[in-house]
């Protein structure tokens, strides 16, 4: 059945991906662009072949997670830049899980970047470009009706499970999973992990040198951005 899926109209164009309808109402086509943005699109650029790498790296992670019991929207990778995914009704909450202090956590709380946390910290952000994705908490999610209690509990459990699966997988490849942003959606009543998992949405640090191997190289103008993305792909076997 999937073999005969045809791309139809563009449903949505985001900062890094396009989403197309297909001939199957349950499936969408996710197209990975090379466009890179940061600071809520105040900074814009291109990272050569980023789309190809993020598609391939996401495939590796989604396949691994599915094997480890995390249901995802991944169906299969179609080609270099296109992934077939299950259609999700997106929950407007980004879930971030952190293992090491970095980025906005360091800045907001005046903490030193690089300090490992004794346990993961989970954070929620309301997906809204005009509002700059403000931080929210579980009460906002529930009382403002963004998700139900069972849905939110499931999202948190899947986030912690995803972190618990990817951390050792990456550590074995000399990569520290510093933090990552996950998105979830509803598909026939079930919560699935959606979006992508890649150097755009995670912080990856080299275990020995501590060197950044993710979008922070673009955000902070550190240079060798493409090389870092390629090295992540190489190490995870994408």
Residue 122 found at the interface with a copy of itself (CB under 8 A): yes
Residue in 42, 67, 69, 130 binding a copy of itself, rule: CB under 8 A: 130
List all residues 6 or more positions away from 108 whose beta carbon is below 8 Å from its beta carbon.
none
55 neighbors 234 (Cβ within 8 angstroms): no
Residue in 121, 157, 171, 222 binding a copy of itself, rule: CB under 8 A: 121
96 neighbors 162 (Cβ within 8 angstroms): no
CA proximity to 178, closest of 105, 104, 116: 116
Residue 136-165 contact track with a copy of itself, rule CB under 8 A, x = bound: xxxxx-xxx---------------------
Residue in 2, 23, 40, 128 binding a copy of itself, rule: CB under 8 A: 128
Residue in 49, 120, 161, 206 binding a copy of itself, rule: CB under 8 A: 120
C-alpha triplet 224, 230, 231: angle, nearest 5°: 85
Question: Of the listed pieces 6-14, 36-44, 73-81, 132-140, which binds a copy of itself according to CB under 8 A?
Answer: 132-140
Residue in 62, 124, 184, 218 binding a copy of itself, rule: CB under 8 A: 124
Give strand ranges (E) for the chain.
7-13, 17-22, 27-32, 35-38, 43-46, 74-79, 82-86, 89-90, 93-100, 116-126, 135-136, 175-182, 184-187, 190-193, 202-206
Q: How near is the Cβ of 130 to a copy of itself at its closest, in Å?
A: 7
- Contacting residues toward a copy of itself, per CB under 8 A: 108-111, 117-124, 126, 128, 130-131, 134-140, 142-144
């Amino acid at each position: 059945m999937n073999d005969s899926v045809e791309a139809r109209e563009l449903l949505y164009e985001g900062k890094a991906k396009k989403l197309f309808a297909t001939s199957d109402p349950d499936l969408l086509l996710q197209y990975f662009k090379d466009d890179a943005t940061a600071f809520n699109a105040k900074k814009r650029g291109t990272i050569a072949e980023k789309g190809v790498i993020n598609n391939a790296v996401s495939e590796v992670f989604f396949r691994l997670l599915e094997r480890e019991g995390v249901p995802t929207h991944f169906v299969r990778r179609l080609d270099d830049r296109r992934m077939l995914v299950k259609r999700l009704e997106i929950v407007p909450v980004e879930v971030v899980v952190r293992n090491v202090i970095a980025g906005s956590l360091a800045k907001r709380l005046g903490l030193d970047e690089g300090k490992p946390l004794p346990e993961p910290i989970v954070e929620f952000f309301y997906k809204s470009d005009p509002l700059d994705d403000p931080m929210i908490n579980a009460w906002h999610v529930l009382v403002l009706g963004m998700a139900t209690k069972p849905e939110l509990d499931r999202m948190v459990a899947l986030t912690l499970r995803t972190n618990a699966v990817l951390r050792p997988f990456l550590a074995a490849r000399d990569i520290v999973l510093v933090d990552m942003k996950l998105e979830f959606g509803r598909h026939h009543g079930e919560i699935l992990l959606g979006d992508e998992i890649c150097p755009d949405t995670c912080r990856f640090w080299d275990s020995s040198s501590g060197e950044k191997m993710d979008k922070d190289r673009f955000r902070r103008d550190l240079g060798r951005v493409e090389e870092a993305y390629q090295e992540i792909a190489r190490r995870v076997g994408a």
